Structure 1
């Protein structure tokens, strides 16, 4: 059976900041149908770009008049409410499985003894993958993004990540890439050197149909989320005076011993725990600390969230999206200058809905359930800016016992300077309070600690001591206030310096919103222009490796540009 084809249907991404009209929108259901699409594109000198749930805010989609491949059916990708999170409650015939949504353990030698190689179709959703892991209860992906409404192809292409300093990116788990090249031929990449480009190539190498990833044996998360006062969850940097902290967040009665204990707890969670994540909702006086370790013991493991909890999450997300699109409510809030009050109320409701478990015993659940602790996120549209901050070393005299390099190297003496993370976190909080009258940020500040990456174009590449992945979000309805606010937050992050006064490496998450932002002093320059300069070495290395793959597979770089490029990729990779 061939692909479904729609003509001249408007494309919009999830965040509604990118739109265009492709000549054809194709929904393939097999490798053969992908080959037919690419061969047609070659014959008619057209370009092909892919999209899943359309969650990226970046210019990595297609162009007007060209071909867009949708990895999921259009109703699932574009309509709200989306029921992916409730798929366990739906009959099998509604799940739209096809030849690009396969999951199977395959033969081969993993890099770590005891692990397994799992071949997954690019159209497979995180919800399908989560359910497969739980139902088989044998292997699991060790990291992932939170959303279940993502395709594997969509989360792998822009090098997405999870949480935990021991973990790299999703693309670092890839051991084999199967793709349809610019001539319509099915090709395979397994060389570890070549995978550093092929496993995170933004769709530029071709249409990826299947990925083989290295999974770990199933383990069980010991969830113990806590709600802590903001100044205790991640303590302010030592040189931030009490007077600079918003009055609602101050705790003047904290003793020096309390502060030292809080700082030690934060550093331990960030450095050593399996999963490390913090949320702060605007103007809330507490943070939600979602840090946990795992165990190999399955005894007492529960399904989390339960079907009832999942449905309530789905309902709250969809309700939020309905409210943000209610013109009467928005006009009332603006007229009465109640922006801060409205956002505070939203934050309080969100914090109330988040769980808190005493530990011990906490709550034990299958590891992929804990990775996807929040369901139904697809149903509330947001805008999102995220950066990856390289963790610099503390001065040598301050280093303690050696620990393993998070990128897989030998033990080392250097330790991360966590004060840079404290400064990044508190800069975002203080910026939010400076704009409390208009409240451009209506969704949380979120931070995860991750490892480095071997991927050539990864923002985390070279971060041997780890990475601070920090982001700010807002509801899509706040679009008019968002851009200058996001630029102010990002400017502060870009000015971070290490203990020697050197600028810390800060780069955006490729899938998030960076295009159109201006950074720097005096009104700044386009961030994209700065990134093109900063990534010059990586860009050349990336194209060089793609060229090596092309020599083996019978195509050249200009073939990629003609078949799988777009306006941005042309400029970023090929113009010079």
Structure 2
């Protein structure tokens, strides 16, 4: 746990009218209101101490471990309570791309409900999403979350309308494309979002063909990294120059053109799990993935991992015998065993492929992620160069090995996705015309005592990269991941975010919100009083 706060009231509304009553109560008693979904965030974006929290789900569903949302696939629909804030329906309107449709979604709907709705209708699908099904749509969208694939932007870039209850308790809507650049990714600062309208594409089908490839070949090291820097366990004695060149070419092709592009490396594993695939409109021979049995196995595996990391006797034994590296290696082997690898592609529904892992919410972890802008190729500036991406990947691996005798702070995977840029003002991917490398390191919560110094070391390397002109690349953290409490160059990372990374964007963001407010009858001062918290006060509203 990295965020700890106690609200005075926790409310669980089931209707828009209920939300309006809560906000009016807050206005009348001069209290602030903020929402929480599955609480899958490490950032200080929750409510103020002693104020009002709106839980988008029942407290049992939002906080209970194990959580059974992933098992919904095997359970009948009637077991799951639906409210006005969990609606899913195609609505009228003009999408930006011919053939697409607009889908109105309640903020309390979970990604699992959304996934099931798409599969049952078999007509339309979202083209991107986070992996987890245990997240609300409102909670996924508010901090500008993302999927993978260089052709895809963030989830907030798909938003075409935001319906929200403002600081006066009135139901309002924003559908102007220019204003949506702020409203669609506003961290709940504009008000309590009740529904989002997103642009969906016709249903397509993923041609999944996950592979387990030697780490050296999956993402080849940067050209200037000497082989003696590579950990001996990862070296390939017969890795000829022509094979290296072919591996680099393949990695760049997958990163540049794949519909979905993702790489996983578990600490001390000599294999990398490569999950890169394309999509097709052909529905023939579509398979169900994961099946009910596979989903149950994932659920049990994730829950078991969480039980083991909280086993005091086991942790003490590992520490006393200095078996940290052995224990982490065993965890990695078990994780790699559970991940599939197929000789031939398996065709499945696109939403199923996007949510290929289930039950992740049942493992408590810590997570730091940055978004690195892809740099232009020296020979063709219209195409991305992946030298910095390969360096970021291997810097993280080498740092992990360097700490193998220091408690093994990283106990969960290094993960990397290649994605597009964003038009959302406060998106960390904004302005990345050639695309973005979203790269993250995770650990089990049991390693929290070792974690922050380690994370600072990895982040320090990721933030040190420069372009060919010697200028620092504008690498920024994922808003929902862990950046609070982490220092960069001896100062809180948030100071860099405010003074450098988002210096211009935060002013544009406030200007757009103020313009919406003038139309809807509220001011930025009203937002600060009603929907902000201590962090947002200091970041956005310090001069209000």
Task: Say if 1:51 and 1:68, in contact at 8 Å, map to a contact too.
Answer: yes
User: SS at 1:209's partner residue?
Assistant: strand
* Residue 537 of structure 1 pairs with residue 504 of structure 2: yes
- Pairwise CA distance, 1:64: 1.3
Residue by residue over 1:99-143, the C-alpha shift from the partner in whole angstroms, topping out at 9 and shown as x without a partner, is 100100000000000000000000000000000001100000000
The answer on whether the counterparts of 1:394 and 1:499 sit within 8 Å (CA) in structure 2 is: no
Question: Who is 1:410 aligned against?
Answer: none
Deviations 1:218-274 (A, max 9, x none): 000000000000000000001100100000000121111100000000000000010
> Comparing 87-96 with 337-346, which one deviates more in the overlay?
87-96
After superposing the two structures, state which structure 1 stretch, 85-94 or 542-551, moved more: 85-94
Match for 2:531 among 556, 564, 568?
Answer: 564
Q: CA deviation at 1:93?
A: 4.1
1:340-351, aligned counterparts within 5 Å? 340-351=325-336
Q: 1:483 aligns to what?
A: 452
User: Offset at 1:505?
Assistant: 1.3
Under a length normalisation based on structure 1, what TM-score does the superposition of the two structures give? 0.93
d(CA) in 1 for partners of 2:480, 2:23: 24
Distance 2:306 2:526 in 1: 42
Please state if 1:57 is matched with 2:42.
Answer: yes
Corresponding residue for residue 510 of structure 1:
479
Q: Show the counterpart of 1:555.
A: 522
Query: Which one of the candidate residues 311, 314, 333 is aligned to 2:296?
Result: 311
2:357 is aligned with 1:374: yes
Q: Which one of 137, 154, 170 corresponds to residue 152 of structure 1? A: 137
Q: What's 2:441 paired with?
A: 472
Q: Does 1:71 align with 2:40?
A: no
- Equivalent-residue separation in structure 2 for 1:467 and 1:289 (angstroms): 18
Partner Cα separation in structure 1 for residue 469 and residue 392 of structure 2: 17
Residue in structure 2 matched with residue 432 of structure 1 by the alignment:
400
2 CA distance for matches of 1:537 and 1:447?
28
Q: What CA distance in whole angstroms lies between the structure 1 residues aligned with 2:242 and 2:402?
A: 30
Task: Look up the match of 1:4.
Answer: none
Determine if the alignment matches structure 1 residue 41 to structure 2 residue 26. yes
Task: Quote how far apart the aligned CAs of 1:90 are.
Answer: 2.6
**Is 1:419 aligned to 2:387, yes or no?**
yes
Cα distance in structure 1, aligned partners of 2:219 and 2:468: 19
Whole-angstrom CA distance in 2 between matches of 1:322 and 1:287 = 26
Render the CA deviation track for 1:19-56: whole Å, top value 9, x for unaligned: 11101000010000000000000000000000000001
Q: Does 1:273 align with 2:258?
A: yes
Partner of 1:526: 492
Q: CA RMSD in A?
A: 0.7
Distance in 2 separating the partners of 1:259 and 1:65: 58
1:429-483 superposed Cα distances (whole Å, 9 cap, x missing partner) = 0000000011100000000001000000000000000000000000011000000
Give the structure 2 partner of residue 394 of structure 1: 377
> What is the DSSP-based 3-state SS (H/G/I as helix, E as strand, rest coil) of the residue aligned with 2:307?
helix
| 2:462 alignment partner in structure 1 | 493
Secondary structure of the residue that 2:135 maps to in structure 1?
coil
1:175-224 CA-partner distances (Å, limit 9, x unpaired):
00000000000000000010000000000000000000000000000000
Q: Is the counterpart of residue 134 in structure 1 residue 119 in structure 2?
A: yes
* C-alpha distance in 1 between matches for 2:249 and 2:50: 56
**Secondary structure, aligned partner of 2:540:** helix
Q: Secondary structure at the match of 2:86?
A: coil
In structure 2, distance between residues paired with 1:550 and 1:459: 24
Q: In 1, distance between residues paired with 2:74 and 2:384?
A: 45
Candidates 184, 199, 203, aligned match of 2:169: 184
Q: Distance in 2 between matches of 1:556 and 1:501?
A: 42
Distance 1:505 1:569 in 2: 22
| Secondary structure in structure 2 of the residue aligned to 1:100 | helix
1:456 to 411, 417, 425: 425
Map of 1:8 onto structure 2: none
1:88 to partner: Cα distance = 2.3
Unmatched runs of 5 consecutive residues or more in structure 1: 1-15, 400-412
**C-alpha contact 1:29 1:98 (8 A) present in aligned 2:** yes
Give the superposition deviation at 1:97.
1.2
